Amino acid sequence: MQRVQEIAKADPGDVFTDIGNQLGTLMDAYDAISKAFLKEQMDAKQVYKGEESIGRRALKRILITSRLDAMLAEIRETMVFKAPPELGSLWEKFEKMWQQIVAEQEEAHAEELRRAQIASWRRRKRIQEIKAKVAWVSAVVFVVIWAVGIMWLTTKSAIQRMSLGH
């Protein structure tokens, strides 16, 4: 009851800012744990050379997802039951905006991946072109050296025949 009276006395702008900061802190923590979980998932697709067993790594993932679920439930509860009525249906607004940002980020990640793939393809193509040019130059140098060697041997053979014949 005392908290409600404090909120009633406070400036609405300050209350909204305070609520936003508190929820923002929770969301930052949620995001950090989400990133740790994503890193675990990405690392799982690489050959693991660490000390932890597969079972321990599985348990770590389960604990992370449990913590994420609990945090999301806490955030939802705060937004639904503890937010001032002036904020309206904060959870619904938040959820809608969150989905929009997630969709935008997925699109941005897809674009970034596409650019990285194009850059990788261009590098591979350039390396193939360089290898092809090196192969051609090597072949030409080999043929030139071979021709010079044949001419030298032919000349040497002719000189020896001439010196033996005279």
pLDDT tens for 125-161 read 999 999 999 999 999 999 999 999 999 999 998 888 8
Range of the domain at 33: 1-88
**Residue 74 located in a structural domain:** yes
The residues, ordered by sequence, that sit 6+ positions from 46 with a Cβ below 8 Å of its Cβ are none
What is the number of domains present in the chain? 1
d(C-alpha 103, C-alpha 110), whole Å: 10
**Residue 68 located in a structural domain:** yes
Give the tens place of pLDDT for each residue, 16-44. Answer: 677 778 778 888 888 888 888 888 777 77
**Residue 166 located in a structural domain:** no
